[in-house]
Chains A and B, each alone.
Chain A
Amino acid sequence: MATTEQVIKPFTIQELKGKADPDWCPGCGDFGVLAALEKAIVDLQIQPYNVVTISGIGCSSNLPGYINTYGMHTLHGRALAVATGVKLANHDLTVVVTGGDGDGFGIGGNHFIHTMRRNVDLLYLAMDNQIYGLTTGQASPTSAIGMKTKSTPFGSVEGPINPITLALAVGCTFVARGFSGEQKHLTDLIKQGLQHKGFSFIDVFSPCVTYNHDNTYPWFKQRVKKLEEDSAYDSSNWQMAIERSHQWGEVIPIGKFFQRDDLPSLDQAEPVLDTGGPLALRELGIPPEVAREFITELM
């Protein structure tokens, strides 16, 4: 998401610390995501009061309380709908949505699809740990077939969703995958996502050290391979992105799968926002001549 915010006084990462400290389990992948987000905002010097961090419900959805921007800790699965309202009401704000795989791809799946389709200008960080953590360990929409959890004690028989393929299929204009064990790489992806004008989706492998004993830090470390290190990979090529999104197993690609900048974001496409500034700051009511017109057409 592009920002034209003029830097008045450089701020530090210390000033971005929220009022509360994270209560995530020690070793949780979400620490790495929070740190990368803070680093990206500081690097880009987006004034914290112009950022709104919005989440649903779940372990990772506690994030807005830990960062000193404006924040909304909303309902399970609804963060993207709320965020769309915030962005359209004040399109000068930088909107960041955070949440987990259950929140975003399960209960919030409908909003996930449609918010991407609309190309709402926001950054969506899905902290994907392939498990329901806050409800103490049930299968999630990204849990692998065969995964044993409290709700699938004999192994899951349902196939997982592929968030990258799904995002590509519905027309998401920035699709990436990060890993909280790759801080520098993740920070860079977040910065690109913040600067992209349109919907930026980053699916972040954020291991749950308490409930997911399959998809652990070592498991990912052995497998993840950066797309940026593959000189033949072209992130403007949608076909290539679709193909690579299906790669899973011994090698799992991370990095930017796809980006296009030729489509307007929703706030750019909506003529009501062409002039007059953010809706939230406009004067209320209808000018008398417009009001007269509305009545006359009924007579």
Chain B
Amino acid sequence: MKHTFAVSIGGAAGQGVATPGNIFARIFARRGLHVLAYNAYQSIIRGGHTFLTIRTGPERINSFGDHIDLMIPLNQDTMDRHLHLLGPGAAVVYNGDTIKPGSAADGVRLCPLPVSELTSNSRSKLEQNTLCLAAGLSMMGVGFQPLEEVLTQQFKKKGEAVVNENVGMARAAYQYATEHFAPFERPLPMTDNKYAVVTGNMALAMGGAAAGVKFYCAYPMSPSTGVLHWMATHARKAGIMVRQVEDEIGVVNMAIGAAQAGCRAMCATSGGGFALMTEGLGMAAMIETPVVVIDVQRAGPSTGVPTKTEQGDLWQMLGAGHGDYPRAIATPTDIVDCFTIIPEIFNLVDKFQCPGIVLTDLLLSEGTASAAPSELEFKVPIDRGELITSANGNGANGGYKRYLITDSGISPRAIPGVPGHTHTVATDEHMEDGVLISDEFTNPIKRRAMMDKRQRKMAGIEAAVPPPKIVGPRNSEVTLIGWGSTKGVIEEAIELLAEEGITANHLQIRWMVPLHGEAILHELAGARRTIIVENNYSGQFARYLRSETSFVPDGHIRKYDGEPFMPHHIVEAVKEQLAGKTKLSVPMHEIMV
């Protein structure tokens, strides 16, 4: 089994859970270790309960795992809620002055810090956080210097005195821990790699910048707001126009306007905001203007659980808007893929002049992961398709037809400002030259020709995207099928199943549209037992796959409590299904946040 180490920090919102979390992540990544973090939190600015788990190790981390090695409760509530999750070998580091431990399992080490004694000169209210962090690092076998570097960097702006005070306090706690608490059995390893630490929302935004997005607009909506924040912070350096708009209807229409004028334009939202955008998506398809909309799913319906994850928007994406129209829907499979997929979908929608949807969720968007700098390569291939940006000597109105009927369904697209190509695009049905056929000239033959032209683009889109493939031994006992963000946890579950002698392979869907139904049927033809894993109530992907291919799996594993799957949830579900106990497993989440 891979060597990993997981730290969980819990407290009330506003108590400063994020800062030690970020410091851990940075120190681990600078040590050449991979990290993955998931923050279980609530929709409250001050108070409530937040529980952040950061897992690290020399190999890529697939999920936040099943075990906590070190817990840092910043308040009594956290101790009371989660001490029972810890098993032998784990430790709890806490402020011994204010927090009382309950009864822990055998082999769990309770490590109280005498905070007031160690910080007699400090005025900081967040001192216990730094002390616990320092003590934890000591027990992990990490030297003091990396923490000193991070703290110096963090407090630099506040002057030398503040730096010295914080570093001094941390050093005292570090030494106290070295003297009083035994180190963890396996010290944290170190490699020569160096990683960046990035959230999914940041990766989506950076992917946009890499793709050449020049126009980004949004209305704030959890859990997609991080994209807006990165864009707003980096807009001037990146040369991107970033606008906060009055509502999501305005967002999508503004983005389409910018795209029509020639920019690569992007926007992000969550399910409720996306609902407002659907009419706009139909417009993008009808006027054949490429635009990319990111939907970051949270638990629905309606306002739902704004800070919790779900994969419940799939059918909303498939059915967004009235009428039939070509679209592409991509579902990134991990945080780094949030970066990679954006330039890919822009090239696709620019070429095929249709809307593109990136369907992800809170687990990825607000999760944090390590990435090698080479995985965040900004220099990506850019293909804008048949775009006319200059007259090329064609000064007169030489019969340019914006919606020229072609075999591919793609018509050369002139942007406003180019002489000799004036035309009007319309959401009404229109003819090749853009003139409406919806009013007094309705014409079934022309209408059919235009529908055929637009829908022909789907064949090209399907050919431009690779079909999904099964990963793992063909003759496995179980084939686990997932989509989007569940890739990592399924991979880890497969490793755990292997340890128990159960062979499983894996089919992860990254493109919902085009789905490649025939290829999927071919892949699944020899599967012994198929189980679809998804983070929703009704099996939205299972229903979609059946509607497209008539494929019916042997079983389902679903979860709709707001929290993501943990590896053991899938392992136990597979085992109960192999034992014939059920065809539908709905694991119960054990961590209460």
Residues of A within 8 A of B (CB): 18-20, 23, 47-50, 52-54, 57, 62, 64-65, 68-75, 78, 81-90, 92-93, 110-111, 113-114, 270-273, 276, 278-282, 284-286, 288, 290-291, 293-295, 298-299
Contacts and interface: CB of A to CB of B under 8 A. Distances in A.
Given A279-B215, A286-B378, A85 B258 contact: yes
14 contacts: A73-B424, A73-B428, A75-B279, A75-B427, A78-B253, A84-B257, A85-B258, A88-B215, A279-B214, A280-B214, A282-B239, A294-B206, A295-B373, A299-B194
A49 to B, nearest CB: 5
Contacts of B236: 271-272
A54 B416 CA distance: 12
Contact of B253 (A52, A82, A285): A82
A298 B202 CA distance: 10
Contacts of A19: 423-424, 433-435
Most chain A Cβ neighbours within 10 Å, of B234, B241, B254, B397: B254
A286 B210 contact: yes
B382 A71 contact: no
Contacts of A293: 237
Nearest to A118: B243
A295 B376 contact: yes
A65 B245 contact: no
A285 B280 contact: no
A227 to B, nearest CB: 31
A54 B426 CA distance: 10
B413 interface: no
A299 B379 CA distance: 19
B215 A85 contact: yes
A94 B564 CA distance: 50
Contact of A81 (B209, B250, B415): B250
B253 A74 contact: yes
B389 to A, nearest CB: 7
Contact of A85 (B253, B373, B424, B436): B253
Contacts of B433: 19
Contacts of B214: 89, 279-280, 282, 284
A70 B209 contact: no
Contacts of A111: 246, 249-250, 253
B480 interface: no
A293 B371 CA distance: 15
A86 B261 contact: yes
A111 B255 CA distance: 14
Contact of A89 (B247, B261, B397): B261
Given A75-B279, A93-B416, A281-B389, A86 B210 contact: no
A77 to B, nearest CB: 8
Given A48-B422, A285-B382, A299-B30, A70 B416 contact: yes
B241 A71 contact: no
A81 B253 contact: yes
Interface stretch (B155-163, B183-191, B221-229, B262-270): B262-270
B262 A85 contact: no
B404 interface: no
B212 A90 contact: no
A1 to B, nearest CB: 15
Given A285-B210, A298-B371, 16 more contacts: A19-B435, A20-B436, A62-B436, A65-B424, A65-B426, A70-B422, A73-B427, A81-B249, A85-B253, A85-B257, A89-B257, A89-B260, A111-B253, A281-B262, A284-B211, A295-B196
Nearest to A113: B246
Contacts of B197: 298-299
B215 A89 contact: yes
Contacts of B436: 20, 62, 65, 73
Contacts of A272: 235-236, 239-242
B378 A285 contact: yes
Most chain B Cβ neighbours within 10 Å, of A18, A72, A84, A90: A72
Contacts of A73: 424-428, 436
A85 B255 contact: yes
Nearest to A50: B417
A47 B195 CA distance: 53
A18 B260 CA distance: 20
A73 to B, nearest CB: 4
A281 B212 CA distance: 12
B493 interface: no
A52 B262 CA distance: 13
Most chain B Cβ neighbours within 10 Å, of A47, A53, A65, A276: A65
Contacts of B417: 49-50, 70, 90, 92-93, 278, 280
B435 A20 contact: yes
B375 to A, nearest CB: 10
B256 A71 contact: no
Given A110-B247, A290-B237, A72 B260 contact: yes
A89 B198 CA distance: 29
Contacts of A74: 253, 256, 283, 287, 427
A290 B378 CA distance: 10
Nearest to A67: B424
B419 interface: yes
B421 interface: yes
A81 B242 CA distance: 14
Contact of A110 (B202, B237, B246): B246
A90 B261 contact: yes
Contacts of B261: 52, 85-86, 89-90, 93, 280
A269 to B, nearest CB: 12
A72 B257 CA distance: 9
A81 B267 CA distance: 14
B148 to A, nearest CB: 17
A270 B214 CA distance: 13
Contacts of A279: 214-215, 239, 241, 258, 263
Which 8 residue pairs are nearest across A and B when measured between Cβ atoms? A85-B257, A284-B212, A71-B424, A280-B262, A89-B261, A291-B378, A81-B253, A298-B196
A90 B426 contact: no
B179 interface: no
A83 B209 CA distance: 23
Nearest to B251: A81
B323 to A, nearest CB: 13
B105 interface: no
A294 B94 CA distance: 36
Contacts of B421: 49
A276 B416 CA distance: 18
A299 B419 contact: no
A250 B359 CA distance: 58
Contacts of B425: 71-73
Contacts of B424: 18-19, 53, 64-65, 70-73
Interface in B365-391: 371, 373, 376, 378-380, 382, 384, 389
B40 interface: no
A54 B382 CA distance: 29
A92 to B, nearest CB: 7
B77 to A, nearest CB: 32
B440 interface: yes
B497 interface: no
Contacts of B427: 57, 73-75
B491 to A, nearest CB: 24
B130 to A, nearest CB: 22
Most chain A Cβ neighbours within 10 Å, of B247, B255, B424: B424
Nearest to A283: B212
A52 B424 CA distance: 9
B420 interface: yes
Interface in B400-442: 415-428, 433-436, 439-440
Contacts of A75: 253, 279-280, 283, 427
Nearest to B203: A298
B287 A72 contact: yes
Contacts of A68: 397, 422
B316 to A, nearest CB: 19
Given A89-B262, A89-B263, A285 B212 contact: yes
